Amino acid sequence: MDNYKINTKCVQAGYRPGNGEPRQIPIIQSTTFKYDTSEDMGKLFDLQATGYFYTRLQNPTNDFVAAKIAALEGGSAAMLTSSGQAANFFAIFNICECGGHIVASSSIYGGTFNLIAVTLKKMGISVTFVSPTASEEELDKAFQENTKAVFGETIANPALTVLDIETYAKAAHKHGVPLIIDNTFPTPVNCRPIEWGADIVTHSTTKYMDGHGAGVGGAIVDSGKFDWMAHKEKFPGLCTPDESYHGITYVEQFGLQGAFITKCTAQLMRDFGCIQSPQNAFLLNLGLESLHVRMPRHVENGQAVAEFLSSHPKIEKVNYSGLKSDKYYALAQKYLPNGGCGVVSFEIKGGRHAAEEFMKRLKLAAIETHVADARTCCLCPSTSTHRQLTDEQLVAAGIPAGLVRLSCGLEDKEDLINDLKQALDF
């Protein structure tokens, strides 16, 4: 499928049925797989033959869908996980263990921030946070002897900052470590971080990839380009024998293209078991089949709504990188020339009371802890996800009390704007 455009890959990459086989991806709803001899199965356990033996590690339905996501991102291999949280945890923990350190953008999803700053810390992994637009010099200063990876989000949820991917990639490579990018918001339809130097790409497929609010899931894609062996001393897990797999050295056995995902499956999926159910992988694939048709509409609606809001007297400020006035406009022009996503955030004059009143009056946009859905939804962080914070703490966190995050769905943009118009009329 390599020679086809992304629109074609969304529809047909991954699963290529043979003569007389099902046209749609079969849901292999089986925990286990049958073998004729113990020798046959033994080869699988030793990673000497490829095949399936237990769905906690791998399942054919999941692998078809993962192959499609690898093709969309331009990667060499991919795997599905049970959630976006699991994807980011696995992507980091596969190369960074107790005693390691990572450099991460400070503007990332709250769940990932907590994962890195609290839970990974308990596991002995430390972090230095830097600005998403940090200069090369600022990034340089964040690295330590024990740094194993750099992490950032193309468009951060919910801050909507745009990451300077090329600068981040350059700094990571200068220090001999890979760049991991969470590409959930733009999806590969609007940005392919590997083309800008990223080495590993992660997704919460729960968002636009599924796109219908149907299934929680995640994905990890490896570019296959990072030369682990050139930095052997930093990545012993990939470059020296794994005693839990009869002394296999992943890079030697599976090459640069397969080592990262094979190790991640063989060790982390085996031990943590955060597998996506084949049923959810099937639903995810249905979403992917129309991703290239849906994303431009999400962007069109996001842009129209952002423009409408930025000229409304009751609105203090709008964050959307497609607006010329936005701080991230120039970076978005570079990395997201076809637009970023349908999520817009804005501050209503009058604080949390005004935000509550406005949201209560919306008829199309529902109040939900969710984004990137076919149906428009909204959330006020100060009265939901961040409600334990005082007004002062909210300001310090860069979240004004009157901030609303609106995820523009696939409805007609005129209807969405009319809904906002009547809801602001109080």
Ligand X SMILES: *Cc1c(COP(=O)(O)O)cnc(C)c1O
CB of 421 to ligand X, least distance (A): 28
User: Which is closer to ligand X, CB of 180 or CB of 365?
Assistant: 180
User: Which is closer to ligand X, CB of 109 or CB of 358?
Assistant: 109
Helix or strand run (H / E) with residue 254:
helix 250-263
**Bridge partners, 84 (sequence order):** none
Binding mask 165-204 for ligand X (x = CB under 6 A): -----------------x-x-------------------x
Residues from 389 through 408 that contact ligand X (CB under 6 A)? none
Spatial contact of 227 and 249, defined as CB atoms under 8 Å apart: no
User: Which is closer to ligand X, CB of 184 or CB of 187?
Assistant: 184
Longest dimension (CA), the chain: 74
Alpha helices, DSSP H only, in 264-412?
A: 270-272, 278-288, 291-310, 329-335, 351-361, 391-396
Alpha helices, DSSP H only, in 208-249?
A: 236-239
47: nearest Cα among 276, 241, 229: 241
Q: Which two tokens stand for residue 300?
A: 């069109």
Looking only at the bridges linking them, the beta strands covering 315-319 and 343-348 are antiparallel
269: nearest Cα among 74, 149, 91, 113: 91
User: Which is closer to ligand X, CB of 274 or CB of 423?
Assistant: 274
Stretches 109-117, 192-200, 262-270, 357-365: which one binds ligand X (CB under 6 A)? 109-117
List the end-to-end C-alpha distance of the chain, in Å, as a whole number.
54
User: Which is closer to ligand X, CB of 8 or CB of 384?
Assistant: 384
The answer to whether residue 216 forms part of the interface with ligand X (CB under 6 A) is yes
CB of 84 to ligand X, least distance (A): 2
Spatial contact of 302 and 339, defined as CB atoms under 8 Å apart: yes
The answer to whether residue 206 forms part of the interface with ligand X (CB under 6 A) is yes
The answer to whether residue 157 forms part of the interface with ligand X (CB under 6 A) is yes
Residues from 48 through 77 that contact ligand X (CB under 6 A)? none
The answer to whether residue 112 forms part of the interface with ligand X (CB under 6 A) is yes
Size of the site for ligand X (CB under 6 A): 15
User: Which is closer to ligand X, CB of 182 or CB of 419?
Assistant: 182
User: Which is closer to ligand X, CB of 274 or CB of 380?
Assistant: 274
Phi/psi at 201 (nearest 5 deg)?
-120, 135
Residues from 75 through 104 that contact ligand X (CB under 6 A)? 83-85
CB of 157 to ligand X, least distance (A): 4
Cα angle at 285 between 279 and 288, to 5 degrees? 150
Binding region for ligand X (CB under 6 A): 83-85, 109, 111-112, 153, 157, 182, 184, 204, 206-207, 216, 218
